[in-house]
Structure 1
Amino acid sequence: MRTLKGLTFRACALLALLAAIGFLPWIADRDPALTVLRARYSGRESTPEALTAVRADLGLDAGPWPLLRDWLTGLARGDLGTSWVTDRPVAETVWPALGVSLTLMGAALAVVLAVTAAACAPALARAAEGKPSRPGGVAVASLVALPDFLVATLGIAVFATWAGLLPAYGLDTPVHLILPALAMGLPGGGVLARLCRDAIGTTAGEDWVRQWRSSGYRRSRIVRGLLKRAVPPVLPQFAIVAVSITGSAVAVETVFAIPGLGRAALAAADAQDLPILQACMAFLIGLGFAGGMLARLASRRLGGPALEGAAAALAPPARGGRGRGIVWIAATAGPLLLAVAFGLARAADEVATGSRLAGPSWAHPLGTDPLGRDVLARLGHGALWTVGAAVAACALAYLIALALGFAPRAAHPLAEAVNSFPVAIAGILVVVAFGRGQFGAVLAVTAVSWPPLAAHAAELVAAARAAGHLEARRALGAGPLWMLRRHVLPLVVRPLASHAGLRLPGMALGIASLGFLGLGAGADSPEWGASLARAMPYLERAPLATLAPAAAMIALTLAVMAVVSLPARAKRPRP
């Protein structure tokens, strides 16, 4: 029954998303008739009569519901419509792009499985021999949280530009698949590997493992038993990895100039070619939902309790002592705060074309960008754009989660459904509806960040309401509002805020990814993602202009993860 209910909610969420995509012509911030008029009849004046004729030609004069019905029925038949810009069938663009994206996603899944297997093999061997497991530390937990666009950028810098070992652009040969597949698969593979290692370590401490070893069972038999017991709880998290892979297609295909669905969707959003955009987004979302549903069905089939949500995947382990956590904070946050402080003291918008792409000097410690502006100053001011927007998104997601926490019947199914929605797709939808800007980036990141917080809030509220001392308070005549203010909220607000703080670096990277794709802050802003995209073509001539914002994102992730881990480390009992 629970599986059927989850599938029903996911199917309803998918239908709602498809309906929202079908309504794109009516929620777009620009008049679709004006877009088509400029694309097809560039010399024609945009008079009311001309726009009315274009609307009639597109069928927009029939209203939103008939258009939505025609689009959904056409999608079910495989008829994807006609491009508004080229007046050619959408299928000619989308079907080849779908084949390319499926190839790339298959390679990325192979990377995920390879990383997971390589990381779990030593843990299995140690567990079979009765040795304690070795979980990853803060650095591992943080690095697996790095987004695909940053991994892609660093891969091009190291393996294509400097070492010259791998091609950077296109998809002409199987060798071209290596860097894109690594960029799409490494973050998800790291998350899944850590979950599997933790599950194996937990399972290895169960009594039956010790009994099997003492009874003389072969090592291979114990390993099979460990896998059968540890793998099913991790399978639901494979759904999140599958969704992340479909969402990363937008950034990775754009970085590596691969003609897949993600790149086609971004180009269609730029051109306001809504039929192509609708088809690409429908396929991307459908692939993510299909992967998630298959993973969950496999988990139910194999049995086993579910692990904690996605927050557990990135939560730093409470090991290693408080001192090591402080060292991590000093080594990561210290240089970042110094760079931001010195950068804020400099002018970020002074253009000096005579010194463009200059190397490090006393005047410009990190060199200059393509317009001759100081990279250190842009880095400092960009922190206000990136981190400030992330804090705003975190606060909004926190408030949404706190409100939904008191409605658990709605929070859990909504969180499960929206959790299958990548940030890049949300960013494209927001751009089409509201236009480009940092406000839209905050909305997009908020839209995909509240589900895990809401699920956690619902659990905290349920635990707080079940506390034994509340029954005594009620018996003494305490009212519901007093109980809520004095007992329930204090037990929910602080743990949920700690969880939201753990999510902050991921939200900052989401803001940066939208800026990198041109869906967030303007191209001329100092925001870290936009700065990274602007400096990418000059990577070989001015590497610091590209690596500075990338290093800032890595340092932010490491520092926040170390800060969040300090309370857990402080509570760990000493041996």
Structure 2
Amino acid sequence: MTGARTRGRPTVPVATLSRVLTVAALLGVVGLLPWLSGRDPALSILRARSAEQDPTPEALEAVRRDLGLADGPVAILLRWVGGVLHGDFGTSWNTGRDVLPSTLAALGVSATLLACAALVAVPVAAALVAPALRAGVTGAPRRTSGFAAAALTATPEFLLASIGVVVGSLYLSLPSYGWTGPQSAILPALALGLPAGGLVGRLLADSVSSASTEHWVVTWSAAGIDRRRTALAVLRRAAAAVTPQIGLVAVAVLGGAVAVEQVFAVPGLGRTMLGDARSQDLPALQADVLVLLVVGVIVGIVTTAARRALLGASVHDDAVPVPAARFVRRRRHAAIPVATALGILAIVLVGLPRDPYAATTAKYAPPSSAAPFGTDASGRDVLARVAHGAATTIGTSAAVLLAAVVVGVVLGCAPRLFVGPIEVSNAAPPVVTGVLVASIQGPSAGAAALAVLLVSWAPLAAHTAALAAEVRSRPYVVIMPSLGASRSRILLGTVLPAVVPTVVRHALLRLPGVALALAALGFLGLGPTPPSPDWGLVLADGVAAVERAPWVAAAPLLSLILLSVTAVAASSLAGRPGRRTTPVTSSPVSNSAVPTP
């Protein structure tokens, strides 16, 4: 016991040091942003203060002298850090007021919006989990088809927000702009809660299906335990596996709802951060980032504690069974991804011969034989633009996801060492990293891909860490060092083969999310630039005319849904559990890992 405690002591300082160094590195990048971008920060501040004042050398020098820019970025950053340690987050370069009160006010708005979105996401997720839970406790565990979840997660929040503005203002008499009271949160909460509920529901449904194959479920069933109690135990066991993912989704919604906040003019933290980054208001941007990172770290700690509480005393980290259930491939299930993939292929083959840039007919022409998906605001063929954009959008998404899997698996195998980058990467949503990367490189497809990659690996790394911990707790793995197996042999020969297939299936589920993140950056002008037929730009055109010409947005939305269904179905096809009565496990499940009814 003493040896275990001795070995365990360094882990806490390592995790803490990882968090501190990562936050310091990110704040350093933010502090150097005005200089890394190659733009004169004095010019940006002068334009933010007064767009009419001429940027004369005298005016720029006055701004530099007023803000102390002549001292250089390092001195400014160190001065800011010293102020933070004394509770002073600085004053805004644009307004001259303290930045902390406005940042906390924006955080309060975003937290309220997150709570309202959770009220939407929870029942959506429950509806998606119910079929898997019912099947699991009745002896036929299965993964859900996921079509509803795929459709929800494939629908961009900003598109839902734009539709909500039209429907809310014309038919429901709900406020569509600003933040004036509880009613102002209804439409933004729907736009954020529906996709989040679809993602959480899908992850939890898969976890329920996996938990239902464990031997203790068979034992409970043979002992005549009430199905309701069994269902609650399975749900608790499954929730423990995805609790970190739920925390990641919550933080992503909190800081990444920029597009929704932009559409509804909600003064939340994401929208505030985007404005501060564009105006290069460095003290305000640093306060925004620091507050968001602190929230991300707190959520990470809380979800870790919640996971341990859910596992409880009888199912704990040192004795968690991860049975290698037999997966049965069935040809009829292959028809789903094949059909949806053929749908995307048909769109591409029919649209590729068409010109995506030429104005061939009238503006906003409805679908016809000449233009099956109609035309956009410039009279361009929407089918041609969607088809030509498919190669770049899907190809870029797949490349980003592949890189995210590699990075996530590698860093997830050392979670305590990389806990800081994992938490920070998730706390910085794609839009925020998109702003930072675009400020340095300029808006482009490559910059958008890099921005999405910087945050996409974090959920996969967290999932890898959780799965690796469970695999290492198997009895036959615990005893391997005593038999002479080295750490590298255990990792490469036992842990990774058991973890990687599940992480890859998780990554496939996130393919639509990566495509949506790229689309959101294009929508906000942080990705490919017009007239590129990128799906994000096509969606941006459709959002602007969603009431007048809904077919412009419908075409890329249909493509995203087909892509999402293909990814979900392919994930299910990659591994489908067989009947629970004949599971195959690599080792017996220990008694300490069986919940006590």
TM-score range, shorter chain: 0.7 to 0.9
Which amino acid in the other structure matches residue 545 of structure 1? V
Where does residue 370 of structure 2 map in the other structure?
363
Where does residue 357 of structure 2 map in the other structure?
349
Of 144, 147, 164, 1:136 maps to 144
Unaligned runs of 5+ in 1: 468-479
Q: Map Cα deviations across residues 280-305 of structure 1 (whole Å, 9 max, x no partner).
A: 33333332332222111222344457
Where does residue 568 of structure 1 map in the other structure?
575
- Distance verdict in 2 for CA 1:32–1:368, change over 3 Å: same
1:321 partnered with 2:326: no
Of 256, 266, 273, 2:274 maps to 266
1:545 partnered with 2:570: no
Of 175, 182, 198, 2:190 maps to 182
Which amino acid in the other structure matches residue 99 of structure 1? G
Give the C-alpha shift of residue 184 in structure 1: 2.1
Q: 1:410-489 counterparts in 2 under 5 A?
A: 414-415=421-422, 418-451=425-458
Residue aligned with 2:522, SS: helix
- Distance verdict in 2 for CA 1:162–1:306, change over 3 Å: farther
Where does residue 520 of structure 1 map in the other structure?
527
Q: 1:81-480 counterparts in 2 under 5 A?
A: 81-91=90-100, 93-120=102-129, 130-133=138-141, 135-140=143-148, 142-143=150-151, 145-146=153-154, 149=157, 152-153=160-161, 156=164, 159-160=167-168, 164=172, 168-203=176-211, 225-226=233-234, 229-303=237-311, 321-330=330-339, 332-351=340-359, 355-394=362-401, 396-397=403-404, 400=407, 414-415=421-422, 418-451=425-458
**CA–CA distance in 2 between the matches of 1:398 and 1:218?**
40
- Distance verdict in 2 for CA 1:258–1:302, change over 3 Å: same
Residue aligned with 1:373, SS: coil
1:239/1:293 contact within 8 Å kept = no
Of 38, 61, 70, 1:61 maps to 70
Of 16, 22, 34, 1:13 maps to 22
1:84/1:273 contact within 8 Å kept = yes
1:412/1:454 contact within 8 Å kept = no
Q: How many equivalent residue pairs?
A: 551
**CA–CA distance in 1 between the matches of 2:115 and 2:553?**
29
Which amino acid in the other structure matches residue 112 of structure 1? A
Give the C-alpha shift of residue 534 in structure 1: 2.5
**CA–CA distance in 1 between the matches of 2:336 and 2:135?**
29
Unaligned runs of 5+ in 2: 1-7, 478-487, 583-597
Where does residue 511 of structure 1 map in the other structure?
518
**CA–CA distance in 2 between the matches of 1:286 and 1:456?**
21
Give the C-alpha shift of residue 259 in structure 1: 1.8
Give the C-alpha shift of residue 438 in structure 1: 1.5
Give the C-alpha shift of residue 141 in structure 1: 5.3
Percent identical across equivalent pairs? 41
**CA–CA distance in 2 between the matches of 1:511 and 1:187?**
16
**CA–CA distance in 2 between the matches of 1:416 and 1:98?**
18
- Distance verdict in 2 for CA 1:135–1:369, change over 3 Å: same
**CA–CA distance in 2 between the matches of 1:436 and 1:228?**
44
Q: Map Cα deviations across residues 364-393 of structure 1 (whole Å, 9 max, x no partner).
A: 222211122221122122223322332443
**CA–CA distance in 2 between the matches of 1:300 and 1:420?**
22
**CA–CA distance in 1 between the matches of 2:195 and 2:316?**
21
- Distance verdict in 2 for CA 1:328–1:202, change over 3 Å: closer
**CA–CA distance in 2 between the matches of 1:563 and 1:225?**
29
**CA–CA distance in 2 between the matches of 1:552 and 1:11?**
42
Of 37, 46, 54, 1:37 maps to 46
Residue aligned with 2:434, SS: helix
1:250/1:262 contact within 8 Å kept = yes
Residue aligned with 2:335, SS: helix
- Distance verdict in 2 for CA 1:38–1:501, change over 3 Å: same
Give the C-alpha shift of residue 32 in structure 1: 0.7
